[in-house]
Amino acid sequence: MPLRVLFYRNYKAFSGGHLKVWDYFQHVRSSDRHRAEICLDPASAPASPWQGDPGLVDRYDPERADILFLAGTDWTALAGHPGIEERIPVVNLVQGLRHARPETPLFGFLSRRATRICVSPAVAEALRATGICNGPIHVIPNGIDFDLLPGGGAATGADVFLGGAKQPPLARALAARLQAEGYRVDLQIDPLPRQDYLARMAGAPIAVLLPCAEEGFYLPALEAMALGRVVICPDCGGNRSFCIDGVTALMPPAAVAPLAQAVAEASRNPGLAQALRQSAKEISKMHDIRSERAAFLDLLRHIGP
């Protein structure tokens, strides 16, 4: 009989964090040894990826699960079940560097027993440095589903796609600077459906992407690489394993002048642009979703009653 892997989510709006939990839900579904189920918090928005999914259950009953899968603040759903992680194995997906910051509520969950999956070496290093993690720490780098990426990338007429939803003031100031210099800029600030976001990013030869100062991975930069764009992306910690300055991307400081200078460098130097695209494409192939799935299912086979 398949082992029941129970997920929990409080879904407000689409985010990269929800996307990866969805991916892991699908990984479990692909296993003939496990059954994926999920309960959504009653306050969740109706338009979640799990809407109408056969694995969606009405009530969260962790005591009846064989394995619990938690990410982010999902731990709060176990408030009425003290010590449950000593009775039922927990897999904890850790996607952000902020989990290692003592001032955040997430830090308090590290002492709870779990098998932790970190999305990048940077996240794993940060967790180990706390010295309080209870349970093994594994690294499974984020993967992308190449089958879901836009094919040709219909041209938007823009020279630069500027993904600035996480840093709107900087994005607007940079867009104004680039436009004043004659560049056609597709500025993205407001949330977009995932496929629309990818299509717009694929529609310009250069993708300038502005992460938060600290990210556990930063998937948009990798997606832009897989789409064959020239990637300009400041360092955010978790992107260092695939954003390599001058090799797969340009990584100026997160400020208007150096970012604009990087755009000019990529625009005026076709040889550099081609070299960046080629190296980025190659490194993106190392992050196929199938590798993520295989690594997780191998780990999952050793967890359970």
Model pLDDT for residues 126-154, shown as the tens digit of each residue: 999 999 999 999 999 999 999 999 976 55
Angle between helices 219-226 and 194-202 (to 10 degrees): 50
Q: What is the pLDDT of residue 305?
A: 73
Tell me how many helices (H) and strands (E) the chain has: 8, 11
Q: Where in the chain is the domain with CATH 3.40.50.2000?
A: 3-143+288-300, 146-287
More confident residue, 186 or 156: 186
Fold assignment, 146-287: Rossmann fold (3.40.50)
Q: What separation in angstroms does the CA of 173 have from each of 136, 168, 262?
A: 44, 9, 15
- Summarize pLDDT for 88-141 with one digit per residue, the tens: 999 999 999 999 999 999 999 999 999 999 999 999 999 999 999 999 999 999
CB under 8 Å to 268, separation ≥6 — which residues? none
* Model pTM above 0.85: yes
Q: Indicate the CATH number for domain 3-143+288-300.
A: 3.40.50.2000
